[in-house]
């Protein structure tokens, strides 16, 4: 089977962990073990989040008072390169081969997307109420809830096109494990004269992953995070959803900054392709693939008996 595996930023770097190199490398090495188990038996394309990493780079850029901060599209490219390198190297170490390629990926967005007027995508570390008040006053940042704390929020426009799709398809067809679409892709817009430029935004990685999986003709989409399943009663977490159709799944309400994009991505992929999507923990990826763990979204009505 051809499987797109979308690795959440919090799956690669736990929420409360320091975004340090050694911490990230250790968690990515652990993640690579779960990915490699599937890659030995299936065609695998890997996408990944970059929220903690791009947020850290943005903070570091502000520390250089005599240098203008780099724009977010450039910081996104930096995180793609860093995480692509770490993931590719960890997979090569596990699989004992070098047929892993990281592709710097751009995603086209609409400059008139209404998301630009309503920042909602969390990036960076978790802040306390006191820190939020200080940063909002000093930096004029917008924040969104993330668990018990807050994270900086940025516009999250809809991904419309993956510019490097032909290269990703060619590498996959040639037998490579491809790491791509990091952070949902670098958001770019086409200007007059057919020129491209980046914009200040962060694309949702799961929506780009669904778009990628659809155009690659994938059989399945695994949305991997630090939560073991989708819960009908979040945050109480007493009612995990095991198997469900997109139609039924859309009847529930989920947090706009975290679970809702995964639910939407899973539903879109299933509706457009007839394949399956699973949402759950990265460490349980093999069990998610077979439907033994997590939440499985499929076109067929689940058997409740």
Neighbours of 4 (CB within 10 A): 29
Please state, in angstroms and rounded to a whole number, the distance separating the CA atoms of residues 206 and 224: 10
Backbone angles phi, psi at 36, to 5 degrees: -60, -35
Out of 49, 55, 76, 121, the active site residue is 121
| 238 included as an active-site residue | no
Helix (H) or strand (E) holding 22: helix 21-39
How do beta strands 177-179 and 121-127 pair?
unpaired
Please state, in angstroms and rounded to a whole number, the distance separating the CA atoms of residues 38 and 224: 13
Please state, in angstroms and rounded to a whole number, the distance separating the CA atoms of residues 81 and 182: 9
Scanning the structure block, which residue is given the tokens 């030995």? 40
12-18: long-range contacts at Cβ-Cβ below 8 A with a sequence spacing of 24 or more? 12/48, 12/49, 12/83, 12/282, 13/52, 13/53, 14/226, 15/126, 15/146, 15/147, 15/226, 16/126
| 183 included as an active-site residue | no
| 198 included as an active-site residue | no
Out of 51, 124, 205, 280, the active site residue is 205
Out of 10, 49, 84, 124, the active site residue is 10
Please state, in angstroms and rounded to a whole number, the distance separating the CA atoms of residues 247 and 63: 47
Tell me the torsion sign for CA atoms 293, 297, 300, 304: positive
Can you say how many angstroms the Cα of residue 243 is from the centroid of all Cα atoms in its chain? 22
Question: Is the peptide bond between 31 and the residue preceding it cis, with omega within 30 degrees of 0?
Answer: no
Paired tokens of 290: 């077979």
Out of 55, 262, 275, 294, the active site residue is 262
Out of 8, 9, 182, 185, the active site residue is 9
| 184 included as an active-site residue | no
- Annotated catalytic residues are 9-10, 121, 205, 262
């Amino acid at each position: 089977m051809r499987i797109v595996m979308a690795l959440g930023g919090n799956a690669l770097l736990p929420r409360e962990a320091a975004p340090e190199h050694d911490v990230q490398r250790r968690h990515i090495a652990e993640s690579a073990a779960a990915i490699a188990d599937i890659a030995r038996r299936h065609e695998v394309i890997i996408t990944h989040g970059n929220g903690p990493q791009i947020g850290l780079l943005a903070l570091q850029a502000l520390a250089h008072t005599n240098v203008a901060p780099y724009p977010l599209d450039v910081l996104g490219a930096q995180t793609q390169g860093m995480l692509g390198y770490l993931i590719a190297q960890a997979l090569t170490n596990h699989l004992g081969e070098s047929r892993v390629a990281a592709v710097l990926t751009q995603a086209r967005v609409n400059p008139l997307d209404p998301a630009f007027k309503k920042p909602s995508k969390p990036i960076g570390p978790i802040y306390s109420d006191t820190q939020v008040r200080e940063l909002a006053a000093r930096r004029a940042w917008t924040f969104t809830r993330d668990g018990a704390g807050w994270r900086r929020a940025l516009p999250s426009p809809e991904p419309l096109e993956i510019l490097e799709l032909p290269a990703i398809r060619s590498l996959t067809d040639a037998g490579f494990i491809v790491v791509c679409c990091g952070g949902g892709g670098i958001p770019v817009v086409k200007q007059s004269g057919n020129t491209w430029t980046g914009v200040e935004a962060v694309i949702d990685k799961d929506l780009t992953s669904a778009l990628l999986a659809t155009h690659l003709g994938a059989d399945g989409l695994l949305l991997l995070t630090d939560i073991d399943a989708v819960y009908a009663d979040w945050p109480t977490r007493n009612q995990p959803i095991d198997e469900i159709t997109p139609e039924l799944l859309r009847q529930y309400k989920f947090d706009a900054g975290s679970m809702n994009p995964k639910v939407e991505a899973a539903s879109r992929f299933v509706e457009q392709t007839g394949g399956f999507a699973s949402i759950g923990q990265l460490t349980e990826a093999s069990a998610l693939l077979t439907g033994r763990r997590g939440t499985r979204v499929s076109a067929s009505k689940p058997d409740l008996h």
